[in-house]
Structure 1
Amino acid sequence: MTPRPEAFFLPVGPDGDQRFCLFHRAHGPAPRGRVVYVHPFAEEMNKSRRMAALQSRALAAAGFSVLQIDLLGCGDSSGDFGDASWAAWVADVRLASRWLRERDAAHAAAPPWLWGLRAGCLLAVEATDGLDEPVNFCFWQPATSGKQLLQQFLRMRVAAEMMSGAGKGLMEDLRQQLATGTALEIAGYRLAPRLAEGLERAQLLPPPASPDGRLVWLELSTQAEPRFSPVAEQAQARWRDAGWQLDARLIKGPAFWQTTEIEEAPALLSATTSALQTRVEQPA
């Protein structure tokens, strides 16, 4: 029987702020690694909850300890989405990484992983500046540019206003409102200027690699002959050139973070578990 994850609230600072977390304890005595999951942006988080839960359980069954954290203003954590800033989210990822290292002493020497989905990959990379240990990365459908994600999010507001008969220049008007400190209501989310500013600046640039630094890059496709986009290939080349050991794979499956109904991608689950285990399984 698969053990249930431990649900708890992680204190943040002296003001009573808390982050909701799920801790999946690793099965078996042999430590394989520690994994912190960094969820994507806005509604993509909710669409991805099932896949994140399934993958966390699969990794725990394979011997990894896994921590899922709801960032500030997301899920069951303190605050509203409109209270969030990019810097606060980065700090939450660092907090989760340190907690897992201290909490799971049996795995303290095992390889640590930051596993991100979409915007979560950008947060994971930025969070490494300030951690006191090297990490490996697992990227699910990584966003290479926060600016592009912000543009896509703003387009949702533009589309809604055009449906109501608004004219041209809407995108410029929204950006002007953010620049002057005005928060925007978009698809049920209140986007604060400081969150938008941090997201727009974020890029998927490689941090300095440790001698054994690993990056697992997994993307989903429904095409008959899938290929990475030129942007993804350029980003992967930058990571290789920076000394990272790259394992890049295209997996058959739906874009579950944006589908109307909750979808699963079983091939992605097995590919992720296999990729993270690869180094551990090799003989000494």
Structure 2
Amino acid sequence: MSLLGPSPLPDAFFLPTGNGQCFCLFHPPQGDELRGCVLYLHPFAEELNCTRRVVAQQARALAQAGYGVLQMDLSGCGDSEGRFSDATWEAWLQDAHHAHRWLREHAGGPLWLWGMRAGALLATALANELNEACHFLLWQPAINGQQQLQQFLRLHTAGQWLGTGKGNGPTPAHLLDNGQPVDVAGFTLSPALARGLAAAGLQPPRRTPGQLVWLELAAQAESVLSPASEKQLAVWRTAGWAVSAQALTGPLFWQTVATEDAPTLVQATLSALTRPATQAAPP
């Protein structure tokens, strides 16, 4: 059963950035209660395509609840200009700044940065450079960029074994260290992007603490947060953030072609962001 009723189509447009035109979707807030604005930062490489369906469902649900939601394809990704092989972490951070400025010109209220997987790393990097405080909504966040990079490079090794029955030749990490790009699952990863991603970390921003909503999915029932997540959440709590963290049961939709639904995740997100105003005051 769908969580969504009828809703207007989002506004689609191309946002000029220093890296070309980035494709965006804006879901205007609906209803009489305007709760704030949300900037979504998507995951890495093919995970962007795998997650589009569930992210669109969530964006519509948040708009119906009174949030203005902006989705952007970073430069070299999705329907934006540029090539993935030319992308850098610094360029993506610049894209995110442009998206934030546009969102603030078109939607008010408390700011939420919504990041999924590697997008969570970009969200915290952006927050450190903004002139305003914010809240975070993190879906299955990557704990650090090095871990995300290693997971991505494993796809290269798997492809070699499936294609040739052996994994001979230089490793992807060796090629990148020597300044050579690597083709992984249809994406050409440059040494510059690999370095930027590997250096990224999921640390609390150096500013006034706000709310952190942290949601994970696991295929098995009675899911629990991973030890790595619990360790990271302790750091945020110590830094003064109001943490709400849940492990939910649902499909690992970022690993498959975009045909999965994750209603439990969508509903948990909606519940977390629509608590009474006394519980969700801006930082």
Matched residue, 2:237? 240
**CA distance change for structure 1 residues 283 and 157 in 2, over 3 Å: closer, same or farther?**
closer
2:212 to 206, 209, 215: 215
Partner in structure 2 of residue 132 of structure 1: 131
**Shift in alpha-carbon separation, 1:166–1:209, aligned structure 2, 3 A:** same
Query: 2: CA distance between counterparts of 1:206 and 1:277?
Result: 23
Separation (CA, whole Å) in 2 of partners of 1:270 and 1:7? 25
Aligned to 2:186: 188
Q: Separation in 1 of the partners of 2:167 and 2:272?
A: 49
**Partner residue, 1:265:** 262
In structure 1, what residue type is equivalent to 2:13? F
- TM-score (ref. length: structure 2): 0.92
Question: Percent of aligned pairs with the same residue?
Answer: 52
Q: Does the 8 Å CA contact 1:209/1:242 hold for their aligned counterparts?
A: no
Q: Report if the CA contact (8 A) 1:36-1:97 is conserved.
A: yes
Seen in structure 2, the aligned counterparts of structure 1 residues 260 and 69 have a Cα distance that, compared at 3 Å, is: closer
Tell me the CA shift for residue 131 of structure 1: 1.0
2:263 maps to amino acid = P
Alignment match, 2:201: 203
Q: Which residue matches 2:35? A: 32
Residue 279 and residue 234 in structure 1: after superposition, are their counterparts in 2 closer, same or farther (change >3 A)? farther
- The 1-side partners of 2:157 and 2:31 are apart by 51
1:83 is matched by which residue type in structure 2? D
Unmatched 5+ stretches in structure 2: 1-5
**Which sections of structure 1, spanning at least 5 residues, go unmatched?**
none
Corresponding residue for 2:51?
48
Residue of structure 1 in register with 2:15 after alignment: 10
Query: Which residue of structure 1 lines up, in the alignment, with residue 176 of structure 2?
Result: 178
Work out the number of aligned pairs and report it. 275
Q: 1:181 to 1:27 in 2, by over 3 A?
A: same
Residues 111 and 134 in structure 2, CA contact (< 8 A), matched pair in contact too: yes
Q: In the alignment, what sits opposite 2:75?
A: 72
**Partner residue in 1 for 2:160:** 161
How far apart, in 2, do the equivalents of 1:8 and 1:169 lie?
44
Aligned-partner Cα distance in 2 for 1:216–1:198 = 25
Query: Which residue type is aligned with residue 7 of structure 2?
Result: T
C-alpha separation between the residues in 1 aligned to 2:219 and 2:160?
32
Mapped contact 2:114–2:120 kept (Cα < 8 A): yes
2:219 alignment partner AA: T
Q: Out of 187-196 and 26-35, give the one that drifted further.
A: 26-35
- Alignment partners' CA distance in 1, 2:170 and 2:276: 50
**Greater alpha carbon shift after TM alignment, 261-270 vs 273-282:** 273-282
2:3 aligns with none
Q: CA deviation at 1:279?
A: 4.5
Aligned to 1:91: 94
Q: Distance in 2 between matches of 1:114 and 1:175?
A: 31
2:180 partner amino acid: T
3-state SS of paired residue (1:35): strand
For the pair 1:22 / 2:25, whether they are aligned, the reply is yes
Question: Counterpart in 2 of 1:250?
Answer: 247
**Offset at residue 79 of structure 1 (A):** 0.3
Letter in 1 for 2:122: L
Q: TM-score, normalised by structure 1?
A: 0.92
Q: Per-residue CA shift, 1:100-139, capped at 9, x if unaligned?
A: 00122xx2xx110000110000010011122111110000
RMSD over aligned Cα, in angstroms?
A: 1.8
- What letter matches 1:43 in structure 2? E
Q: Within 2, Cα distance between the matches of 1:61 and 1:55?
A: 10
